[in-house]
Structure 1
Amino acid sequence: MHASSALTTPNRAASAERLYAAVDVGGTKIAGGLVDRDGALVFQVTRATPPNGTAEAVLGAAHQVVDLLAADPRWGRVAALGVGSAGPVDTARGTVSPVNIPGWRDFPLVRSLAGHPAVGALPVVLGGDAVAMTAAEHWRGAARGHANALCLVVSTGVGGGLVLGGALHPGPTGNAGHLGHISVDLDGEPCPCGSRGCVELIASGTAIARHALRNGWRPAGADRSAGAVAASARDGDPVALAAFDRAAQALAAGIAATATLVEIDLAVIGGGVAQAGETLFAPLRRHLAGYATLSFVSGLRVVPAALGTDAGLVGAAALAVARFGPEAKLRS
């Protein structure tokens, strides 16, 4: 599967007719959308992911999303279905094992969605949520026009995806670029993944809030999220500032290691933690300058993602266009 940044549209009338369905599966919600071949999200629906739900309950919510999409009068123009899911995923087998959906372990998501009556003969392609975000940002967002880039989702976890040589590089199972589980602290805490000192343990929103609370930060109200820590940091709270500085250092170490390995020239940061703005990006740029010191990575830039909450659906559609688009490709 290969994808990159801009969609060629030799026949604009035909482009206006063809749509791609997208489903984005996360731990709190399942979103669905219809996306045109120019990457515009023209219709969107959501359903809550059943908390601690069984495999059947979560699949039922996903099928409800497909039902709502199929009820739209434009459904007949859909050429393919792209699916982005929290991971790990195995795109070769069409299965998912999202850490935040305990009911799904090696769950055959592609087969299960393909069995929905409305999907019928439509082809289905699966990607991890961070890989989908990467496809979206390369197609229409902050990584557009860049041949070598890393895109990160920093939220309750830390996921990533790679663009190399102008094409999306998901790897054999769809997990390439998963920077959240690079170890940046050899003596760090054990990680649920089995390693220790992973980027996700230090830089995720959950980790930022946990570290701040352990070190004496007290929120003004009941909100104990990373967003509340960011608000305190903007007010000059030293504990909150230190928590974001620590997270930024972990991200910088992982980004610099990736850049040294594969020679990227851009890192795009999205997800809820990125909404902290300069509270995150200022220390991130400072730490990155200290880690990315070799001549071939010293020009590495880090920028915020451009597509916000639409990235998952646009990216899932981008995977479908890249895999199944008849005459069009996603090109640099």
Structure 2
Amino acid sequence: MQNDLVAALDIGGTKIAGALVDSAGRLVVRAQRPTPAQEDGDAVMAAVAAVLGELAGAPGWERVTAVGIGSAGPVDASTGTVSPVNVPGWRDYPLVDAVREALGGMRPGGPTHRWPAGGLPVTLVGDGVAMTAAEHWHGAARGRANALCMVVSTGVGGGLVLDGRLHPGPTGNAGHIGHISVDLDGDPCPCGARGCVERIASGPNIARRALERGWRPGPDGDATAAAVARAARAGDPVARGSFERAAQALAAGIAATATLVEIEVAVIGGGVAAAGEVLFAPLRAALRDYARLSFVQGLEVVPAQMGTDAGLVGAAAAVRARSGAPAAAVEAPAPTVP
């Protein structure tokens, strides 16, 4: 129904964000808490429950018909569990059950209102899949039948749209391009493999590589990938080389994905994408070297459009995709409420 709302959660290592999202993708109520990532699992869940509690006290809660969760991963949607790399207290944590339990203690919106039988349905996906759902609904992949959407930040994640539909896979992790190996004898990755896209193209690894090869931060001491991007933009050859290496790894992973499933566009967001043409120019050039077969040569690479709201909008979109609602049919980009 058009009046229904989804309670959306975006869970990461830094913050836990929540929102009530309407059928047009607008965030009509927001809530947020810092993630106590270094505390135990109960403390992290208490922060999630606090966000849900704030949403439950807001106008519109009585219209909520489902919950969508986009979480840092790995996630396992088949069991409702999460094991975020950046939240050590959660290992095979039963997040879906814990959210249902938290909701059970909250009034559904008035003395005459009742949850559906069995409680609210809860949909769990990885954060890369949530970003993909958002970009397909209202962002740079809108109207595309086959797309890869990526988050390039402290890690590298992603998700797929195939035949016009979100494709999360059985566990909610499909499209996790960050752990495709593109350098068979490369550096060990925390995932256990070698030469993964993430090990080469993530922000911390762009900065690490630049420092190892002689780049030095400015007087402010900023040694992040954003600082490397500024140096590259100013013409520093070492900084530029580190971004070119990241772009090469991304291009190899994108080309491999396109060859397997014939995507037509790759959408790239996240903090590293904010480098703009410092990243995108060498990425497009490298892609021409890797995407050689006729059916992948027309592949486009574009920046993401949804920004920091992608996780929340995407969690709601994933609910709609699961229910079969035509989320992509909305005609206008969704504004948000500050």
Question: How far 1:42 moved relative to its partner?
Answer: 1.7
- SS where residue 136 of structure 1 aligns? helix
Q: Tell me the TM-score normalised to structure 2 length.
A: 0.91
Amino acid across the alignment from 1:152: M
Distance across 2 between alignment mates of 1:156 and 1:306: 19
Separation (CA, whole Å) in 2 of partners of 1:256 and 1:71: 47
Paired residue for 1:290? 289
| C-alpha RMSD over aligned residues | 1.2
Partner of 1:19: 5
Q: Tell me what 1:316 maps to.
A: 315
Q: CA deviation at 1:175?
A: 1.1
The residue type equivalent to 2:32 in the other structure is T
What displacement does 1:330 show?
2.8
CA shift, 1:319, in A, is 1.2
Cα distance, 1:322 vs. partner?
2.3
Distance in 2, Cα, partners of 1:172 & 1:323: 12
Contact 1:123 1:324 in 2 (8 A): no
> Structure 1 residues 215-224 or 27-36, which shifts more?
215-224
Contact 2:136–2:328 (CA<8 Å) still a contact in 1? no
Alpha-carbon distance in 1 for matches of 2:18, 2:37: 19
SS across alignment from 1:161: strand
- Amino acid in structure 1 at the alignment position of 2:161: V
The answer to whether 1:108 aligns with 2:94 is: yes
> 2:213 maps to what in 1?
215
Q: Contact (CA 8 Å) 2:266, 2:300: kept in 1 or not? A: yes
**CA separation in 2, counterparts of 1:142 and 1:135?**
11
The CA distance in 2 between the partners of 1:219 and 1:72, in whole Å, is: 45
Q: Is the 8 A contact 1:22 1:32 kept in 2?
A: yes
* Structural mapping, 1:12-91, within 5 Å: 15=2, 17-91=3-77
Does the 8 Å contact 1:30/1:46 carry over to 2? yes
SS in 2 for 1:37: coil
Give the aligned residue type for 1:150. Answer: L
Letter in structure 2 aligned against 1:306: Q
* Deviations 1:121-159, CA, capped at 9 Å, x for gaps: 221110000000001100111001100000000010000
Name which of structure 1's ranges 116-125 and 63-72 shifts more when overlaid on structure 2: 116-125
Which digits, 9 at most, give the CA deviation of each residue in 1:37-73, with x for residues without a partner?
0111222221111131100111111111111111111
Per the normalisation by structure 1, the TM-score is 0.93
**Residue 269 of structure 1 aligns to which amino acid in structure 2?**
I
Separation (CA, whole Å) in 1 of partners of 2:321 and 2:122: 12
Q: Distance in 2 between matches of 1:166 and 1:160?
A: 16
Greater mean alpha carbon deviation, residues 120-129 or residues 277-286 = 120-129
Per-residue CA deviation, residues 2-49 of structure 1 (Å, 9 max, x unaligned), is xxxxxxxxxxxx52x221110000011110011110111222221111
Aligned counterpart in structure 2 of residue 97 of structure 1, from 70, 83, 96: 83
Work out which structure has the larger RCO, using CA pairs closer than 8 Å and 6 or more positions apart in sequence.
Answer: 1
Query: Does the residue aligned with 1:115 lie in a helix, a strand or coil?
Result: helix
AA partner of residue 53 (structure 1):
E
Aligned equivalent of 1:203: 201
Pairing 1:329–2:315 present: no
Tell whether the 8 Å contact from 1:21 to 1:33 is kept in structure 2 after alignment.
yes
Does 2:280 match 1:281?
Answer: yes
| Stretches of structure 1 lacking an aligned partner (at least 5 in a row) | 1-13
Aligned to 1:157: 155
